[in-house]
């Protein structure tokens, strides 16, 4: 079942709050002009500035209410530029000398809008960037001599940018986890549905083939063995947990459990062992090759065991069998003759991951592979 990104977007309420903030603070700007009307030098300029602020309030509010406006930081950056322009538009109403003498910048708290927008869009870094830009614009209008007077405004801009940015980042991470949980729940429900269908059909047929093959004997025994292996593989697949865990990380245990057969057991810890997707894929391929080697060379009755161990910053996977094994001398001779294709392939995969490979074997004592790779 597909999961819509918007359905789990926990940041949406912040965007709605920003729209409300913009509308309310535009009202404050209008109120500020009305209360200072007698002291404004160029009243027509003040009305033009209010018109610019009003138009941009409508445009930005519509943008932040739509998905295209929230998808990236373009609108927030444009908002920052336009807001700074609206701040400088105060010069249409008041001479610079009056502003530096104490006259108010008519945008008032409305100018904090892009700070919040960048904080919601880009987190704390975006909020900090917006706060610094608005603060510098305010300082350039009021003058360096008025720095102490606007310090409280600068502090409020910085704090609001950092706090809202942190909240947005936290909510976005929570939304990502919620989407993953919904996807995992959907996958589990689908797996249960398929399990019921498979149990009622395919597994019963495989079980019947296994019983009949063993009863008939002869070449049918091999068919029975293959049916038994496929039955185990299907049961393991149906009971395995979802592979995707967190972003580009996957659960190695969930990737290796389907490799279990009647001749191969896979032991995994209860907790997930998370690895980058590429690392997990190469490690699974190496284990698959090792198990294939057991089937081909360890003997008809040989069994194999795969164990996964989480070492904290690394993971250790061992593949052990109780087959015929071999001696170190024969291994060296085979290596010298170039007959270790599978071995070299496995070593190459693990080496490419920056990991290590250890092999222990002896005649009639089986063979054990150990793959150790970093989680990073």
d(Cα 89, Cα 44) in Å, to the nearest integer? 12
Q: What is the pLDDT of residues 165-200, one digit of tens each?
A: 999 988 888 888 888 778 777 777 776 676 666 656
Let me know if residue 193 belongs to a domain.
no
Let me know if residue 300 belongs to a domain.
yes
User: Looking up tokens 């009003």, which residue turns up?
Assistant: 54
Q: Judge if 127 and 207 occupy the same domain.
A: no
Q: Judge if 268 and 158 occupy the same domain.
A: no
How many domains does the chain fold into? 3
d(Cα 348, Cα 356) in Å, to the nearest integer? 10
Walk across the sheet containing 249-251 and list its strands: 244-246, 249-251, 274-276
- For 195, residues 6+ apart whose C-beta sits below 8 A from its C-beta are 238
Among 232, 215, 284, smallest CA distance to 253 is for: 284
Q: Judge if 111 and 74 occupy the same domain.
A: yes
Q: Judge if 357 and 333 occupy the same domain.
A: yes
Q: Judge if 132 and 253 occupy the same domain.
A: no
Let me know if residue 275 belongs to a domain.
yes
Let me know if residue 316 belongs to a domain.
yes
d(Cα 210, Cα 197) in Å, to the nearest integer? 20
Let me know if residue 216 belongs to a domain.
yes
* Domain end (from 239, 266, 292): 239
User: Looking up tokens 């294709």, which residue turns up?
Assistant: 341
Q: Judge if 18 and 67 occupy the same domain.
A: yes
pLDDT computed for residue 246 by the predictor:
57
- DSSP class of residue 324 equals -
Q: Judge if 299 and 349 occupy the same domain.
A: yes
HEC secondary structure over 342-376: HHHHHHHHHHHCCCEEEEEECCCCCEEEEEEEECC
Helix (H, G, I), strand (E, B), or coil: what is residue 250?
Answer: strand
Q: Judge if 207 and 286 occupy the same domain.
A: no
pLDDT computed for residue 355 by the predictor:
93
Per-residue pLDDT tens, the chain, 376 aa: give them.
333 344 447 888 899 999 999 999 999 989 988 888 888 888 888 899 999 999 999 999 999 988 887 777 889 999 999 999 999 998 888 888 777 777 778 788 899 999 999 999 999 999 999 999 999 998 888 877 777 778 888 899 999 999 999 999 888 888 888 887 787 777 777 766 766 666 566 767 777 887 888 788 887 877 877 777 777 666 666 655 555 555 578 889 888 888 887 788 889 888 888 999 889 989 998 998 888 888 877 887 888 999 999 998 999 999 999 988 877 666 666 566 555 556 677 888 899 999 999 988 888 888 899 999 998 7
Let me know if residue 150 belongs to a domain.
yes
Distance, C-alpha 176 to centroid of its chain: 7
CATH number of 295's domain: 3.30.565.10
d(Cα 207, Cα 105) in Å, to the nearest integer? 83
Boundaries of domain holding 215: 201-239
d(Cα 116, Cα 94) in Å, to the nearest integer? 27
Q: What is the pLDDT of residues 300-322, one digit of tens each?
A: 788 899 999 999 899 999 999 99
Let me know if residue 194 belongs to a domain.
no
C-beta neighbour count of 183 within 10 angstroms: 16
The DSSP result for 152-184, as a single string, is HHHHHHHHHHHHHHHHHHHHHHHHHHHHHHHHH
Rg (CA), the chain: 34
Q: Judge if 46 and 143 occupy the same domain.
A: yes
Among 299, 365, 308, 359, smallest CA distance to 332 is for: 359
Q: Judge if 269 and 359 occupy the same domain.
A: yes
Let me know if residue 313 belongs to a domain.
yes
For residues 59-77, b (16+ Cβ closer than 10 Å) or e, as one string?
A: ebbebbeeeebbeebebbb
Q: Judge if 214 and 326 occupy the same domain.
A: no
Q: Judge if 74 and 171 occupy the same domain.
A: yes
């Amino acid at each position: 079942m597909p999961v819509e990104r918007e359905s789990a977007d926990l940041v949406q309420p912040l965007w709605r709050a920003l729209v409300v903030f913009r509308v309310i603070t535009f009202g404050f700007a209008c109120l500020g002009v009305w209360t200072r009307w007698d002291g404004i030098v160029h009243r027509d300029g003040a009305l033009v500035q209010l018109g610019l602020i009003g138009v941009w309030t409508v445009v930005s509010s519509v943008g932040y209410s739509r998905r295209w406006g929230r998808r990236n930081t373009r609108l927030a950056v444009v908002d920052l530029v336009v807001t700074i322009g609206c701040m400088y538009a105060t010069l249409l109403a008041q001479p610079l000398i009056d502003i530096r003498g104490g006259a108010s910048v008519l945008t008032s708290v409305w100018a904090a809008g892009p700070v919040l927008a960048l904080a919601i869009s880009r987190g704390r870094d975006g909020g900090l960037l917006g706060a610094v830009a608005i603060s510098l614009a305010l300082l350039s209008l009021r003058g360096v001599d008025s720095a102490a007077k606007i310090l409280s405004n600068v502090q409020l801009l910085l704090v609001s940018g950092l706090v809202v940015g942190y909240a947005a980042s936290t909510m976005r991470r929570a939304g990502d986890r919620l989407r993953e949980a919904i996807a995992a729940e959907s996958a589990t429900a689908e797996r249960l549905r398929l399990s019921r269908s498979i149990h009622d059909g395919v597994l019963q047929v495989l079980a019947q083939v296994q019983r009949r093959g063993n009863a008939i004997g002869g070449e049918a025994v091999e068919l029975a063995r293959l049916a038994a292996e496929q039955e185990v593989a299907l049961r393991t697949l149906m009971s395995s947990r979802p592979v995707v865990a967190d972003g580009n990380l996957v659960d190695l245990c969930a990737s290796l459990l389907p490799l279990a057969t009647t001749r191969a057991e896979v032991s995994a810890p209860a907790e997930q062992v998370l690895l980058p997707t590429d690392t997990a894929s190469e490690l699974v391929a190496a284990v698959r090759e090792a198990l294939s080697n057991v089937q081909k060379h360890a003997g008809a009755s040989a069994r194999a065991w795969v164990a996964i161990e989480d070492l904290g910053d690394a993971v250790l996977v061992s593949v052990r069998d109780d087959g015929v094994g071999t001696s170190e001398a024969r291994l060296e001779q085979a290596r010298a003759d170039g007959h270790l294709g599978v071995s070299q392939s496995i070593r190459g995969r693990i080496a490419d991951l920056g990991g290590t490979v250890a092999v222990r074997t002896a005649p009639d004592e089986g063979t054990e592979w150990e793959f150790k790779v970093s989680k990073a």
